[in-house]
Amino acid sequence: MGWGAIAYVAPTLVSQYSNRVGSVGFIDYGRLALTAQIALEISEKPLLGWGVDHIEEGGVLLIPETGEIAPAHNTFLRYWYALGLLGGIGFMALFVLPTRRILRGLKERPADKDVEVVRLILACYLFFFIVCNLGPYLYNRYIFVPLFVFSGFVMQWTLKATSKTAPQLAMRLAPSNAHSPS
């Protein structure tokens, strides 16, 4: 029911939002042009990138409406531009790997007392991912430090569950004569 409702309502909401944004004259063609420019530049050196010294130069264009020279506003694309495919994958790993662990932990321990906290952390990961890709936040400690703290909490939360079952598993796997004195 949930996905069906979203699929039904989303096109209408997007259309209404676009009409509203268009009616006030705010259509961000500059951001689209910057993304197209950086994609073109990435295609020239997709594997190795242009080098870490050039991370600020990714997708730089003159925006005619404002007269501003601006770089691409997508952090993932800027990492890919500068550091190549491995840089882009590394940036995505900051979000994907902890999210996978969170989802796996929520599936394995749905009744745990910390589930609500972990769900909030998952929502924060989604929020930070969106924020990181709306602007060029390359080294923003206000985004990355909480990600590392949240990731540490989730890692400790999932390891706590496995450490409780590890002694029981070891007892079952141990040979029966291992516990008897010789």
Q: Give the pair of three-digit tokens for residue 108.
A: 């394995």
The pTM of the whole model exceeds 0.85: no
What are the residues whose beta carbons fall under 8 Å from the beta carbon of 105, sequence distance 6 or more?
Answer: 118, 154, 157, 158, 161
pLDDT score recorded for residue 53:
85
Rounded CA gap, 166 and 37, in Å?
52
Region 146-174 average pLDDT: 69
Rounded CA gap, 36 and 163, in Å?
49
Residue for token pair 């530049």: 41
Q: What is the pLDDT of residues 13-39, one digit of tens each?
A: 556 655 655 555 555 666 777 778 888
Spell out the SS3 assignment of 16-81. Answer: HHHHHHHHCCCCCHHHHHHHHHHHHHHHHCCCCCCCHHHHHHCCCEEECCCCEEECCCCHHHHHHH
Rounded CA gap, 70 and 28, in Å?
13
Asked if 136 and 73 touch (Cβ cutoff 8 Å), the reply is: yes
Burial of 165 (0-12, 13-18, 19+ CB in 10 A): exposed
Q: What is the pLDDT of residues 43-93, one digit of tens each?
A: 888 888 888 888 888 778 777 777 778 777 788 888 888 889 999 999 888
Q: Give the pair of three-digit tokens for residue 30.
A: 């500059």
Q: What is the pLDDT of residues 107-153, one digit of tens each?
A: 877 777 778 888 888 888 888 888 877 776 666 677 778 888 888 88
pLDDT score recorded for residue 3:
52
Q: What is the pLDDT of residues 96-105, one digit of tens each?
A: 888 888 888 8
Handedness of CA 165, 166, 167, 171 (dihedral sign): positive
Coil/strand/helix, residue 122 = helix
